[in-house]
Structure 1
Amino acid sequence: MRIAFAGTPDAAVPTLEGLVEAGHVIVVVLTREDASAGRKRRVFPSPVAARAEALGLPVLKANRIDDEVTASILAAEPELGVVVAYGGIIREPLLSGPRDGWINLHFSLLPRWRGAAPVQRAIMAGDKETGVAVFQLEAGLDTGPTFVNRPVAIGADETARELLTRLAAEGVSDVLDTVTQIAAGSAVARAQDGPATHAAKLGTADGFIDWHDSATSLHARIRGVTPDPGAATTWKGERFKIHRVGIADATDLPPGEVQLRDRQVLIGCGTGALELLEVQPAGKKAMVASDWLRGVQDEGVRLG
């Protein structure tokens, strides 16, 4: 098929590659504009832009789909649009421009977690499963009928980065199967069923750790905000990042107190305790928690 592809982050790259490898003609790749990153604020193309250019595909960079962008995409005469985490809203007349409309690969079990951060919100909520959905894009936020809506288990210690990487890879075959069925005229979309929840975009506050929360809740929150916006607390008045934790057996540590027990770096929570596995003090690189603790006082350390 002649396909217009819209996507921006790493999670969208496997689907773009899969469509190309399957022999579809990518008539245009829509992605967000180059953005600055890192301490030096160097400007980089999006992962999708970089991969599309390497594949020799036509790239259109835009943060907002205005009349000019719409005209450029429609001029390429796509038969179908495919969206994977583009980061913008596709409205009319572009929405109904391609003959078969647009389909969206979404990383949740719809209608659970509609919105910008479905993977992160699922983990933070303590969900045991999420899903891969391919649905017909319509004006509502992730409300369209689904061609694919299958459950996927969430690993007990899986972070948002790890789960998103896995779902992005797994979802490629779902998109390819759907495109094949649409081309053959045999695709069937079913209305979403069940209560809907909103997966709002994460902010810095979502990564703040209150050690008075339960160990189970904090374990889920830290995994859900890793790597972005990242989990953080304070130590000696400075920001202290938490990259990886595990559930510990201890129950007698005050919230925020850190102790070394049986080679485990434990921190007390409101209920239960966590094992600190990987941390990052201000101005330092990420390190194994036991290495950090050895370099400071190993008794009487408190975070937050």
Structure 2
Amino acid sequence: MENYSRRSRILITGGAGFLGSHLCERLLNDGHDIICLDNFFTGTKDNIAHLLDHPHFELMRHDVTFPLYVEVDEIYNLACPASPIHYQFDPVQTTKTSVHGAINMLGLAKRTRAKIFQASTSEVYGDPEVHPQPESYWGKVNPIGPRSCYDEGKRCAETLFFDYRRQHGLNIKVARIFNTYGPRMHPNDGRVVSNFIVQALRHEPITLYGDGTQTRSFCYVDDLIEGFVRLMNADDGFTGPVNLGNPGEFTMIELAERVKGLTGSRSELIHKPLPTDDPKQRQPDTTLARAQLEWEPAVKLEEGLQPTIVYFERLLKAR
């Protein structure tokens, strides 16, 4: 007999995206009923094609900027383009996705009394003056720059989540996601890992912006999804925000050289001007995640790059 007592009805917005598809897979394997919601602006059916025949998986085409009426126990709100190329394509819609999307999902959570998770971002810290970044740091964000639609949209979403908790007693969870990579990344999203791998596999010049000494911290997708689940299952009194990311810090030059080595690429490194408001440093302080969730990333950069490279090799061959 199936164990209905532990099965939850879970809505995942942005469920056909890079992170959302991995989360759908994980929660299905954990025995839950999944509603995968996506408008397919950056998500793709290819990411969840292997799940479509699963008896406890449902795909719904919907935009979170419009209200939704379903019955659920938990909501993971991941819907929002996350790479500069995609979120700057229609910046007003990006802000609407973060803000109206949060309002609509919080309204749904209020009606159904569902637990709700917000996928926030390390971009709430802006170009930080504190390094590494703890959750207590309020950030240094340009409110009127080309990245503001994403940065300020996510900051406003956090505000809404905590106001809904204070005003309506909602059970909320807020994670601040640092750079994540792995299979199912969009090949044209402009993010550094996918850019470097695709350029290396094609033996094209690898593009560094600025002098290449700016740093990022890269978390493999499986580690991040484990953090999501632990946060959602944590004591109701722990809301976050909590940093989820790998504290290992690498310069862009170091990343490029590692990708070249793993792919055997003949690519040369070239330099272009640094984009406006591009952060110089990014490294999570994960003290809170270790203490509250007993979580820390297990996959080292080289270990995670290998399956990511294999994914892009297959993708490029298929195309």
Task: Calculate the TM-score normalised by the size of structure 1.
Answer: 0.42
Larger Rg belongs to: 1
Higher relative contact order (CA 8 A, sep 6+): 2
Higher helix proportion:
2
Which structure has greater strand proportion? 1
TM-score scaled by length of structure 2: 0.40
